[in-house]
Structure 1
Amino acid sequence: MLNLGFPFEKSDLFTLTAIAGLTGATLRIPSSFLIRLCGGRNTLFFTTSLLIIPAVGAGIALQDKNTPLWVFQLMALLSGIGGGNFASSMSNISFFFPKKEQGLALGLNAGLGNFGVTTMQVLVPLFMSIGVFGALGGDPMKLITTSGSIIGKIPAGTDAWIQNAGFVWLLFLAPLALATWFFTNNIRTDEVSPNISGPLGSFSKITLMFAIAFFAALVGLWLMLPESVNGSGFGVPKEIVLVIVVVLTVYLLKALPGEIRTSLNRQYRIFNNRHTWVMSIIYTMTFGSFIGFAAAFPLAIKVIFGYSHVMADGVMTHDQINPNGPSALQYAWIAPFVGALIRPVGGMISDRVGGALVTQICSVIMVISSLGVAYYMHAAYSSPTPEEYFVPFFLIFLVLFAATGIGNGSTFRTIAIVFPKEQAGPVLGWTSAIAAYGAFYIPKVFGEQIKATTPEYALIGFAIFYTFCVFLNWWFYLRKNGEFYNP
């Protein structure tokens, strides 16, 4: 982490991750239903263009060390639009391909989407070391302490254009927004977008539906966060917050009048299909784990291996810097890179041998690898030389990420088989919305267990959940007398 003198505590910074994770997942809920209501081109162009706001805002805010925390919280809140954009794209692309090809098509879309996240984990630190935007990018700041990076150690006193972490996104968002407008279409069929509005009307509907999702996310964040970071201080448990946010979003959206309500009433039929809920759980196992681990992995490396864990007066302490600890920035991007890159492979294999079978194999691997990671986390967190356990920890985590990626691709194939075409798009968006709460939930669990000095408990808990998913997947989709036998 770069030390540039911003007056924030580490715990304050981690709330930004929680805000972005909760909002990004919540905005996926309305986005699941936008394609049929507003059209693919209208939706993707507008949501991509909206992402320019937090990119520019973050770049400006990062130029001043006196920028208050609430500004960064607002930018984190607006960055959640990216989660909604992803859900819309998944729903949109499901209408382009026959069922026999949807595993690969959706896997490519999702894999390349998450590949962008890992790519930016590499590009952002590089752009922060160069004044590529000239006078428009502002003046550099000086590092206060030596920091680790993907390219090694950066000494104190080095110039850093940290504001480029925001501005660099403009190099991609601006051309992508134009590309979605000129090279995509609003599909018009009886099942998809039968009576969509013009661009301005569609933009208005998207804005209204997003406003509801933002409101629900803000209510949840206020209930959960402490007063020191602009919350209520009530400390409502995260599990209750998730339920409140999801239920509030779904019901407020349905309360909207006119054409929106008519469209949503039709699309909300997916909630009467029990397989929507089954696939939400299974998809959470794969994508929820992927996105959650991607957010928590750097923290796990830094806290577990970046400090020496020694006994002092009969008490284990965890605040002594480990000079031999690995750099989180140098290694953390590799695991999600593997998980994202391999997702299309999962879809392609599933198109050939069946989605449920691939999901089952991946689920078992996730159970075993989670327990393996838990073992080495416990060993490292009890050792004055935790770096000795880093290699097996890292390699097993790579296996875990690969399993989430392949399993994620295979769930796309199962959804395409189980649901009719009219429902498949909204279901893909909805399941991705529920699973995306992993970006909020998993880092919170990691943080709580690290604070309790038992980080391995987090992985053991996840392994128990994966075991349940093994049974669930077998019962509904692998039993020969199951409703949707999908080997």
Structure 2
Amino acid sequence: MSTNAPAPLAERTPAAGRRVLHDWNPEDPDRWDPRTAWSTLWVTTLNLTLAFVIWYLPGALVPSLGTLTGWDLSESQSYWLLAMPGLTGGALRLVWMLLPPLMGTRRMLVLSSALMLIPFAGWAWVVTLPSQPSYGLLVALALAAGLGGGVFSGYMPSTSYFFPKRKQGTALALQAGLGNFGVSVVQLVVPWTIGFSMFGLAGQISVADDGTRSTLWLQNPGLVFLPFGVVGLVLAWTVLRSVPVRSNIRQQLDIFGNKHTWVMTVLYVMTFGMFSGLAGTFGMLLRTQFGAGTLTWVFLGAFVGSLARICWGPLCDRFGGGVWTVVSGVGMSASAVLVLWGQLTADGDPSFAVFMTGMVLIFFFAGIGNASTFKQMPTIFPARQAGGVIGWTAAIAAFGPFLFSMAFNYLSRPVVFGGVAAYALGCAVLAWYFYARPGAEARS
């Protein structure tokens, strides 16, 4: 190496050094520090997992709220509460997608982590009230929980700045997949923790459909997760650094002149939009059709989808994302047809086994598609635009919980799952034409 060549970044930037890594280029081995990149990934992933926990905490609690004495939530009101985090999650992603180049990774993560403590504390408090508070307060807390969905569009593009393109498929799949585990974590933890007393606090009386009375401690999940939120905030403050990727809002909006921004938006709505929407409504679907006893299985869909997203990241790095997006669309369509078949052919009540099999398969193929699309976007777009496209597509797909809550509130289940099957199949054709077929204009 020439004596005038720069020293490796790790030597020039001590671990306790500057808040901004001015001399940073992941594509240049001498200007990329893998230790900094991976520590950034793990801290942001912890905070992203907690973000998904708070985003889906109302969805895990709401099915039980209507059973409390002194509370009177109709099924329609419950679906509206489930819809609110999806509404604000999508809207806030449109804001957070702009923040990484404006604020930098560290300041954005610290701000986001601090704000998320508010809905954690709010949901731990409101469920302890002896009678139902104003419905407006519940709506406000549900809207606040949407912050957990909004930050995704800042965290993921920011992480992409720290890794070379050859590693972004694996890095982003790990972050998004482990972050998505927050959905299954909250859906698994809530039914368990609400069943016993913690910290000597009083519980709430619940009345089942058959008149059976029991005691629930619905404040426990918020109290359990709140200390983890504080840890995430401290780690963001002490560990994270920012990289000098800077652009103003006008520069970031140039992604909308590229047709592939819109194609990838349609495809990501198929994968994450359906994943998030079905995960948010899964508990209500199970309770209203198969009884409250089946809620112990609600975590399974998001767990399988998140695991698939992690496992397929390296495969997408090796084989490209386009072909796996096609597989995702075909698989989701076939799985939705299975659920639809179970709904239409059942004598009386649909089969729980058929319903669960179809649903878990939808989540599985959605997880594959979430990994593949996040491999495609950094490949199709230059680095600065890729972050913006990731943020934009994620913002639109985050409306999934709102759209599916409204769909199940006003449409029949066969109509909804028929729409899922048709949309996913159309997306598979789209992905094949633009990204997977021989000679495609943007093979990825």
The verdict on a shared fold, with TM-score over 0.5 as the criterion, is yes
Match of 1:177 among 222, 230, 233: 233
C-alpha contact (below 8 Å) 2:286/2:295 kept by paired residues = no
- Equivalent in the alignment of 1:384: 348
Residues 1:299 and 2:284 aligned together: yes
How far apart are residue 76 of structure 1 and its match?
Answer: 0.8
Q: What does residue range 269-348 of structure 1 map to in structure 2 within 5 Å?
A: 269-306=254-291, 327-348=293-314
Match of 1:30 among 91, 95, 101: 95
Q: Which residue of 2 aligns with 1:457?
A: 415
1:471 is the counterpart of 2:433: no
Q: Counterpart of 1:483?
A: 441
Q: By how many angstroms is 1:300 displaced?
A: 2.3
Q: What is the CA distance between 1:335 and its match in structure 2?
A: 1.3
1:97 aligns with 2:157: no
Change (3 A) 1:270 1:412: same
Q: Residue by residue, what CA displacement relative to the aligned partner does 1:262-318 show, whole Å, maximum 9, x if unpaired?
A: x11011111111111110000111111111111222222233334xxxxxxxxxxxx
* SS of alignment partner, residue 411 of structure 2: helix
Measured after TM superposition, the shift of residue 75 of structure 1 is 0.6
What's the CA shift for 1:157?
4.0
* C-alpha contact (below 8 Å) 2:203/2:218 kept by paired residues: yes
Q: How far did 1:12 drift?
A: 1.3
Match of 2:246 among 188, 193, 198: 193
Q: Is 1:166 matched with 2:222?
A: yes
Distance 1:163 1:422 in 2: 42
- Summarize deviations over 1:429-465 as a string: whole Å, max 9, x none: 1111111111111222122223xxxx21211111111
Secondary structure of the corresponding residue to residue 143 of structure 1: strand
Per the alignment, residue 367 of structure 2 pairs with: 405
Amino acid of the structure 2 residue aligned with 1:53: I
Q: 1:198-237 counterparts in 2 under 5 A?
A: none
The structural deviation recorded for 1:49 is 0.9
> AA paired with 2:219?
Q
- Quote the Cα distance in structure 2 between the aligned partners of 1:14 and 1:400: 21
Could you state the TM-score of these two structures normalised by the residue count of structure 2? 0.81
SS class of match (2:207): coil
The 5-angstrom pairing of residues 224-263 of structure 1 reads 263=248
Which residue of structure 2 lines up, in the alignment, with residue 210 of structure 1?
Answer: none
How many angstroms apart in 2 are the aligned matches of 1:83 and 1:413?
21
Paired position in structure 2 for 1:141: 204
Aligned partner of residue 51 in structure 1, secondary structure: helix
| Mapped partners of 1:178, 1:356: distance in 2 | 38
What is the DSSP-based 3-state SS (H/G/I as helix, E as strand, rest coil) of the residue aligned with 1:159? strand
**1:84 and 2:150 equivalent?**
yes
Letter of the structure 1 residue corresponding to residue 197 of structure 2: G
Residue 341 of structure 2 aligns with an amino acid whose one-letter code is Y
Match of 1:214 in 2: none
Match of 1:158, SS? strand
**Count of aligned residue pairs for this structure pair:** 378
The 1:460/1:144 distance shift into structure 2, 3 A limit, reads closer
SS at match of 1:63: coil
Q: Does residue 1:128 correspond to 2:214, yes or no?
A: no
Whole-angstrom distance in 2 between the partners of 1:185 and 1:400: 37
Question: What is the rounded CA distance, in whole Å, between the counterparts of 1:174 and 1:60 in structure 2?
Answer: 17
Residue number among 9, 12, 16 corresponding to 2:81 in the alignment:
16
The alpha-carbon deviation at position 341 of structure 1 amounts to 1.4
Does the CA-based 8 Å contact 2:82-2:281 persist in structure 1? no
- Deviation at residue 168 of structure 1 after TM alignment: 2.6
Q: Select the residue among 377, 385, 390 that pairs with 1:423.
A: 385
CA distance in 2, matches of 1:353, 1:371: 28
Partner SS for 1:8: coil
What displacement does 1:45 show?
1.1
Per the alignment, do residues 374 and 146 of structure 1 end up closer, same or farther by CA in structure 2, a change over 3 Å counting?
closer
Deviates most, 35-44 or 55-64: 55-64
Matched residues in 2 for 1:145 and 1:296: separation? Answer: 20
- The aligned counterpart of 2:402 is 440
Q: Contact 1:299–1:328 at 8 Å: present in 2 too?
A: no
Q: Displacement, 1:7?
A: 2.6
Q: Report sequence identity in percent.
A: 35
Maintained 8 Å contact 1:86/1:113: no
Aligned-pair RMSD on alpha carbons?
A: 1.8
Cα contact 1:304–1:377 (8 A) shared by 2: no
4+ residue runs over 4 A deviation: none
The 3-state SS of whatever aligns with 1:7 is coil
Deviation at 1:119, TM superposition (A): 0.6
8 Å Cα contact 1:118/1:333 also seen in 2: yes
Distance of 1:139 and 1:457 partners within structure 2: 43
Deviations 1:310-359 (A, max 9, x none): xxxxxxxxxxxxxxxx7331222111110011101222111011100111
What CA distance in whole angstroms lies between the structure 2 residues aligned with 1:146 and 1:445?
25
Q: Is the 2:277–2:405 Cα contact (8 Å) retained in structure 1?
A: yes
Q: Which runs of 5+ in 1 are unaligned?
A: 148-154, 195-262, 307-325
State TM-score, norm by structure 1: 0.74
- Say which SS state the counterpart of residue 56 (structure 1) adopts: helix
Q: Per-residue deviation at 1:385?
A: 4.6
Q: Which amino acid aligns with 2:303?
A: F
